[in-house]
Structure 1
Amino acid sequence: MSTQRLARLASIIFHPAVVMVGAAVVATGAAEGGARLRWQALGLTLAAAVVVMGYSAWQTRSGRWTHIDASERHERAQLNRFASWLLLGIAAILAVLGSHRGIVAAIGLSGLIVLAGHLLRGWLKASLHVAFAMFAACIAWPHAAAFATLLVATVVVAWSRLVLRRHALREVVAGAALGAVCGLVFQWGIAA
């Protein structure tokens, strides 16, 4: 298998939707009411991912975008605005409904990651793939095996984004920093 194909495969396997589903399973596993929370977290994560992917497919099918990946600058801007407001809106609704604060925080911080990527676009194209992988690793803490696995996934995703020339090194580092900061906020908010 060529390096390009391997990098593309890694980018798909460790897509933000996939790593966040993994983090949701781990984070809700030990919580009180874990089974119910796990299904709620999984359902919301998958629903948000399906809506975002559906939006991307619709934009591509309608001819507004050239590729479902939102490769062009204006496409990324549209996708990031849509995804950030979707996630922040879901978090706000869940907060009003009294949902578990960990789920509200994870979805809200996910929206902030996308929004930060959008706001930084004038300076750099922060890797949201890397940001979400790092955020998922932080959510999985203190489960050592899951944390280590997701940390390795973060490194693999960073490598793949560089190999595919989707990002420069500083953009990958910015994504990792963004995910780590949101992960720390998540841990601080849950521990409080």
Structure 2
Amino acid sequence: MKTTIAKVISIVGHPFLTVPLFAVFLLFSIESTQRAIYLSLLIVGGIFLPVGLKTLWGVRKGTYTNLDVSDQGQRQKWFVATTFLLLLVTIIVWATNQGWTLRLALACALVLLVIAQLVNRRIKASMHLAFHAFLGFLILSLNGVAGVCFLLFALPLAWSRIHLGRHIWKEVIVGTALGSLLGVAFWVLH
């Protein structure tokens, strides 16, 4: 029963679910409908769709052990494609002079991913917790109560990642610290 609960929590807190949902929600909150559709397609279609397909394909081929890309060595290769796509979308968003909130959020997410890739050489930081903490601060900048509630979900999410054997406490703490660092940077600069 505990494992089932941990799996559900881990899926609900998966960055491939939370990040695009937040991005689309944010875009439709701050942009015109037409612009929100364009930017949502750019972000989801330019980052999440190709990385998701690459991850699924990698699991099928045996390149990745699981959809979380939990193996530290496998994760290093995964970071390269993901960072490249995020960089490309970030450049497009900055070059087309989109809104400050979106430009800053993407720039901070890119820095978070680059730092996580560097850190991954020594320790496999939890990307679930890194992006969860980062999003928590983005949400906090828009709505204090929603942000605090979202950030509090980090506790069961951390437990789930450890219970499922994907991470140890040190990796969860490092991931949370990385996400918090870039989330605070966003909050201060926003």
TM-score range, shorter chain: 0.7 to 0.9
List per-residue Cα deviations over 1:32-89 (Å, max 9, x = no partner).
Answer: x454565455434432222211111222333433433323332111111211221122
Q: 1:30 to 1:59 in 2, by over 3 A?
A: closer
Instruction: Return closer, same or farther for 1:80/1:62 CA change in 2, 3 Å cut-off.
Output: same
Show the counterpart of 1:149.
Answer: 149
Residue number in structure 2 paired with 1:182: 182
Any conservation in 2 of the 1:161–1:167 contact (CA below 8 Å)?
yes
Once the two structures are superposed, residues 110-152 of structure 1 have per-residue CA deviations (whole angstroms, 9 ceiling, x without a partner) of 2222221211123211111001111111001230232022112
- In the TM superposition, residue 30 of structure 1 has moved relative to its aligned partner by 5.5
Give yes or no for contact 1:85–1:111 (8 Å, CA) kept in 2: no
Q: Distance in 2 between matches of 1:172 and 1:63?
A: 25
Q: Does 1:56 align with 2:48?
A: no
Q: Which moved more, 1:63-72 or 1:5-14?
A: 63-72
Greater mean alpha carbon deviation, residues 144-153 or residues 91-100: 144-153
* TM-score normalised by structure 2 residue count: 0.86
Q: State, as a whole percentage, how many aligned pairs show the same letter.
A: 24
Q: How many pairs are equivalent?
A: 188
The answer (yes or no) to whether the contact 1:131–1:177 under 8 Å persists in 2 is yes
State how far apart, in whole Å, the 2-side matches of 1:28 and 1:146 are. Answer: 17
8 Å Cα contact 2:161/2:167 also seen in 1: yes
TM-score by length of 1: 0.85
Number of the residue aligned with 2:133: 134
Unaligned runs of 5+ in 1: none
Counterpart of 2:170 in structure 1 is 170
Partners of 1:68 and 1:80 lie apart in 2 by 14
The 8 Å contact of residues 88 and 112 in structure 1, kept in 2 or not, is answered as no
The alignment yields a C-alpha RMSD, in angstroms, of 2.2
* Bigger shift: residues 123-132 or 106-115: 106-115
Matched with 2:41 is: 43
Mapping for residues 114-125 of structure 1, pairs under 5 Å: 114-125=113-124
- Distance in 1 (alpha carbons) for counterparts of 2:117 and 2:149: 28
More deviation, 170-179/20-29: 20-29
The Cα of 1:21 is off from its aligned counterpart by: 3.4
Task: Work out the CA distance in 1 between the residues paired with 2:109 and 2:164.
Answer: 24
